[in-house]
Amino acid sequence: MCLFKIILLFAGYVIAGLQGALIGLFAGWILDKIFFPSKVKFTAKNHYAKENFVQILLILTSAVVKSSKERMVKSELYFVKDYLRRNLSEEDAQQALYLFRDIMIMDREYDIEKLCRNVGDKASVSEKLFILQFLMGLSGADGHYHEQELEMIRNINHWLGLSYATYESVRVMFMGNRQQWAEDNSYRSSSYSGSYSGTARNAYSNLDNDYKILEVSPDVSDAELKKAYRKVAMKHHPDKVSHLGEEIRKTAEEKFAKVNQAYEHIKKVRGIA
């Protein structure tokens, strides 16, 4: 199947001649690989190959940004550029930026639900978690968490096949609780890894948030808590996403550390040895 390749080839030629046709051909080739799962490449361990994973992130990035505004702000663009340059070669990063530009300016609407469900069927839990983390970091890159963007991220979380508890776990890692967010909306992202200043950095001292990070309620037994910790820690383990690049692995290490911090804080409060 080469539906997108043919359509964008002719559209590009009509709009911008030969150069437009070449850009359309490349963009169509990428989209055919994404929207027709039989063409998506996997590594030996049945994980997404890095180039496919990046393409998916770019389309979902566009969906989140367009959910609240017509154009990206500079901080969001820097966020995306930083990720690409840290994880791809200079040439590949530049090509990805060209593709992202085309995705952002295209008038057609992508079937984001269909794309996410395809990804949900193929990707590992850890890969899906990173998508969620990346989009949450993107949403906060301009200093504000827009409700339209958070709603889109919640939908993407659901379409990927992740639970609402998983969404809340990741949200809390970035934002703290909703009351803190409402009182202090000055959270800033220094990079795609999700580092924030002020209240957001201190959110992990909140016991309720610690339970949300572990995806359990405060009334769980000690045995259930330990089981939940092991399950969440396994999902966030850095080795699960090492095939996607060293920088993504470092991001996973940060989130893995936050899972451990939450568990240690709860154990201390409960008096568990």
Task: Give every CB contact of residue 272 below 8 A, 6+ residues apart in sequence.
Answer: 222, 225, 266
The pLDDT tens digits for 4-50 are 556 655 666 667 666 665 666 666 666 655 555 444 343 434 456 66
Burial tier of 158 (Cβ tally within 10 Å: 0-12, 13-18, 19+): middle
> Whole-model pTM?
0.70
Structural domain boundaries in the chain: 1-39, 42-270
What's the token pair of residue 237?
């383990």
Q: What CA–CA distance (Å, rounded) separates 11 from 15?
A: 6
Give me the pLDDT at residue 13, please.
61
| CB of 36 closer than 8 Å to CB of 105 | no
Q: What CA–CA distance (Å, rounded) separates 103 from 85?
A: 19
Please, what is the angle between helix 246-270 and helix 74-87, to 10°? 110
Give me the pLDDT at residue 122, please.
87
Residues in the chain: 273
Question: What residues form DSSP beta bridges with 231?
Answer: none
Give me the pLDDT at residue 99, please.
87
The pLDDT tens digits for 122-165 are 888 988 999 999 999 999 998 888 899 999 999 999 999 999 99
Average pLDDT over residues 187-206: 41
pLDDT tier, 92 (very low <50, low <70, confident <90, very high otherwise): confident
Q: How far apart are the first and last CA of the chain?
A: 58
| 115-129 exposure pattern, b = at least 16 Cβ within 10 A, e = fewer | bbebbbebbbbbbbb
